[in-house]
Amino acid sequence: MKRTPLKRRTELKNRGELKAKAPMERKPMERRRKPKRQAANDNRWRSPAYLRWVRQQPCARCGSPADDAHHVIGLHWGLSGMGTTAPDSYAMPVCRACHLDVHRLPELQRCQPGWLRHTIARGVREFGGDIGQALREAWAFIDEKEVA
């Protein structure tokens, strides 16, 4: 079957004009770190001051300088889950290597209540006010869960 050539309604523009123009000048993107926002329906206790203090403590597992504030995971206490982090009062100091091990090894996850109690006990001596109150509530919650 023989086809007839299509006729254009508008003529093609000369592409040479487009190539002759200088390329647009690129501006470097401005990089800004957006602060992590807490969801409006998330009422978990948050304290940057407490987490800063936790990171200054020695690692709860090996005693080396801590890099991270690890929030408790894997104990089925209903504090954390997919896409959520436990309140900051349930954070303990760990170095990077131990932090990776805790997330990888279930037997280390079972050690978290003891490490957490030790961290909270030091925190209660260090802080008063709202932070001290949140830590005492966390201690009572851990005792309640350990008895059950």
pTM: 0.69
Higher pLDDT, 22 or 118: 118
Q: What is the pLDDT of residues 36-89, one digit of tens each?
A: 665 555 678 899 999 999 999 999 999 999 999 999 998 888 888 778 889 999
pLDDT (mean) for 138-146: 90
Q: What pLDDT was estimated at residue 40?
A: 55
Cα torsion through 135, 141, 143, 144, rounded to 10: 160
pLDDT (mean) for 75-104: 91
